[in-house]
Amino acid sequence: MTQRAFTPMILALLVTTLGFATLIFVQEAASPPLIYGAYYAGTLFVLYLGVRILLPHSDVLLLPIVTLLTGIGLVMIFRLTYDVQGAQNLAMTQAVWILIGSGTMFLLVLFFRDYDRIFDYKYLLAIAAVFLIASTFTPLGYTVNGARLWVDLGPVSFQPSEFARIALVVFFAGYLAEKRDVLAATSRSFLGVELPAIKYFGPVALVWAASLGLLVFEKDLGSSLLFFAVPLLMLYAATGRIAYILLGGVLFSFGSFVSFLLFAHVQVRVQSWLDPWKDPDGTGFQILQSIFNIADGGLLGTGLGAGFAQTIPEVETDFVFSAIASELGLLGATAVLLAFLAFTYRGTKIALLAEDDASKLLAFGLTAMFALQTLIIVGGVTKAIPLTGITLPFVSYGGSSVVGNFILTGLLLLVSERAGKREAEGRAYNRDEPWGAP
């Protein structure tokens, strides 16, 4: 566990400052009110100090990575919207969301140091998650770009699935830790694949199917993919049975095929992935503009402010990575991907060092969700896989996504605190092996 990350914090804030300075110099853009920049830097720095004090043994290196990613996100959102009618204030709104996310995370580390108590409420969380997702079907929900993902609560609107998925990871972690032994044991086999008892598998499958089903009908393909894959990986980690992955693969192929036949929007996505040139001004437009922009960047990028990423619809949310690849080039985009990989690596390490099964599965599930989300959206905008609308964690514009990912980071910090503390105590008692090492 890295317990001090002062220099990385300063570096991350400097990168953000440099980005804004460049934009203001190059685009002759009016500087956004400096007070926002001060708030942003101050908030994240106070958050860092707070975590250092409250969770002195936690893996605090996650915070400079979060700072770097949110900073790059702010720079790109400002760059893409500063002169766009009706969207000039998006960067400031995002800064406010980062502030709210930081606040949420601060409250989390302040009050949830005994985080494992939430595993006692896992069924409640699962039900809450399903209801959250289902809430978009109430009159409060509304549709954006064909997907019904939003709930309007008067002053704010949010995407419930961004929070529901964290609740579900908590549920799966708690449940799988409890039942992993019986799930690993097999009671019967089907077509040569050994299956666990329905009794134990039931709740997992039920929650899984319910959330997945709802999301499919909401046309939220990206979230569906995440909700499908993350529990599967957690099941694999808990039981070590590759059969689950294989079974999942079969189910996935079947599900994809059925939804391809059933839903026009799935067909459009697949066709515009396979052959965007067929309709370059219609269904293929977005992905082609993304590819043109990425290619335009070349090795070193066009430079901040010199690209044409504004030609991509939804560039500040789902396609923000294309704008980064265009203006910062292969080198810059790879550096950003490395920051995501570093986060994934720290998350994995936290999972490896966590003391109990539930914490381990929680840290693993959250990390897997973070990594998969990055892979799915970046893979989508680079045409490596069909495009499914989903945000790039911390970078894309979007309040729910930002706050959700701050909560995710907060939970990882909490898990790491306990492992780090035990490690420290182990050192203090001069023991070779920490207690109960798995």
Partner 1 sequence: MNAHVRRTFYLFVAGFVGLVVMLAYWQVYSREALANNPQNGFQTQRSISSPRGLILAGDGETVLAKSVKHHTPTGPVYDRVYPLGAPFSNVVGYWSPRYGATGIEIGNNTDLSSVAGEPQTLDDLINRATGGPQPGNNVVLTLDPGLQKLAYQELQGSSTGRGSVVALNPKTGEILAMASSPSFDPNNIDENYPKIAADPGDPLINRATQSLYPPGSVFKVITAAAALESGVSPQDTFFDSGAYKLPGYTVHNFQGEHFGKVTFTKALAYSINVVFAKIAVNIVGAKALSQMAVNFGFGDPYDDFPIPVSGSSVNSLPPGQWTTGTLAQTAFGQGEVQTNAFQMALVAAAVGNDGKLMQPRLVREVRSPDGIILDKPTPSVRRQAIPADTARTLNEMMQQVIIQGPLPEAEIPGMKVAGKTGTAESGNGEPHSWWITFAPADDPKIAMCVMIENGGRADRGALPIAARLMKAYLTEGV
User: Is 276 within 8 Å of 288 (Cβ atoms)?
Assistant: yes
User: Is 180 within 8 Å of 239 (Cβ atoms)?
Assistant: yes
Contact between 191 and partner 1 per CB under 8 A: no
Helix or strand holding residue 148 (H, E): strand 147-153
Identify which range of 138-146, 214-222, 301-309, 390-398 contacts partner 1 by CB under 8 A: 301-309
Contact between 14 and partner 1 per CB under 8 A: no
Q: Which is nearer to partner 1, 47 or 237 (CB)?
A: 237
Mask of contacts with partner 1, 78-117, x by CB under 8 A?
Answer: -----x----------------------------------
Give the CA angle between residues 329, 330, 336 to the nearest 5°: 90
Comparing CA positions, the residue from 290, 308, 254 lying closest to residue 379 is 290
Contact between 325 and partner 1 per CB under 8 A: yes
Q: Which is nearer to partner 1, 48 or 119 (CB)?
A: 119
Number of Cβ within a 10 Å radius of residue 137? 13
Q: Which is nearer to partner 1, 118 or 177 (CB)?
A: 177
Residue 144 β-bridge partners: 147
Measured distance CA(269)–CA(378) in Å, rounded = 15
Q: According to CB under 8 A, which one of 116, 355, 357, 417 is a site residue for partner 1?
A: 357
SS3 156: strand
Number of Cβ within a 10 Å radius of residue 142? 12
Helices (H) and strands (E) in the chain, counts: 14, 5
Contact between 334 and partner 1 per CB under 8 A: yes
Mask of contacts with partner 1, 151-170, x by CB under 8 A?
Answer: --------------------
Q: Which is nearer to partner 1, 51 or 325 (CB)?
A: 325
Structure tokens at 433: 């092996």
Q: Which is nearer to partner 1, 224 or 290 (CB)?
A: 290
Q: According to CB under 8 A, which one of 261, 299, 428, 430 is a site residue for partner 1?
A: 299
Total residues at interface with partner 1 (CB under 8 A): 59
Contact between 360 and partner 1 per CB under 8 A: yes
Structure tokens at 231: 């529990």
Helix or strand holding residue 214 (H, E): helix 198-217
Positions that interact with partner 1 (CB under 8 A) = 22, 25-26, 83, 233, 236-238, 240, 277, 280, 288, 291-308, 325, 327, 329-330, 333-334, 337-338, 340-341, 344-345, 348, 351-352, 357, 360-361, 364, 368, 371-372, 375, 378-379, 382-384, 438
